Amino acid sequence: MKKKLLPPRHIAIVMDGNGRWAKEHGLPRIKGHEQGAHSVEESIAACLEAGVEFLTLYAFSSENWKRPQLEVQGLMLLLEHYLHHKIEEMNRHEIRFQAIGRLSELSSNIQEQLEKVRRATAHHCKLTLTLALNYGARHEMIDALRAIVGKVIQGALTPEEITEEVFSQHLYTAHMPDPDLLVRTSGEHRLSNFLLWQLSYAEFYIVKKYWPDFKKNDLLEAIEAYQQRERRFGEVR
């Protein structure tokens, strides 16, 4: 009997190219981000169809604050709008929503909206959708290190007890498995400070399309390509 090919349990996506898409279409950069929101819906649909359990999207990095103020403001408004209007849809599709990053540095309005959606969808388990907001992997690892050092100082943990597993348990992503597949759009071949620890053994899938042009079938193709790969995790097979 032919072995059934399983989808990746966890997909992480660097949604790149919104600004360049807008420029090529003669539009303001924020229009690229608005169009990119539709690609988020397409990717969610692909994950639901394929049976993916976790989808993590790099929505706003800790470095993105350096962008023009007007663009940042537009992104925050777009985020608020998305969160406000998607609770019903998430509940309908049994999607659990979460966010990771230094969320306390976001506006109080966004923090309240994030918590509202998280609470409203916490009982679902078909797909966990995680937005990385004000996220940087180096910040994440520093925050984890600070928490671990605090426990050592308090006597709750000894240096000898610090393992890879213990470190992982102090990351923002402690509640989910490491990604199996990383998808990056716009043809770039870099991690951009995204999930540096968690992506150690992930399969990479790079597409030249800008994020606004990335559709459901594109992610299904990425999943199919993943299913053809042999993951060895350093072993000889």
- Active site (catalytic) residues: 16, 64
Q: In degrees rounded to 5, what are phi and psi of residue 113?
A: -70, -40
| Geometric angle at alpha carbon 220, from 224 and 210, rounded to 5° | 115
Distance between CA atoms of residues 72 and 24, nearest Å: 20
Distance between CA atoms of residues 31 and 220, nearest Å: 25
User: 216-227 vs 29-50: helix axis angle to the nearest 10?
Assistant: 50
Contacts with 112 (C-beta within 8 Å, 6 or more apart), sequence order = none
Closest residue by Cα to residue 13 from 47, 64, 48: 47
E strands, the chain, where? Answer: 10-14, 54-61, 95-100, 127-135, 181-184, 203-206
What length is written for the chain? 237
Closest residue by Cα to residue 140 from 179, 110, 111, 167: 167
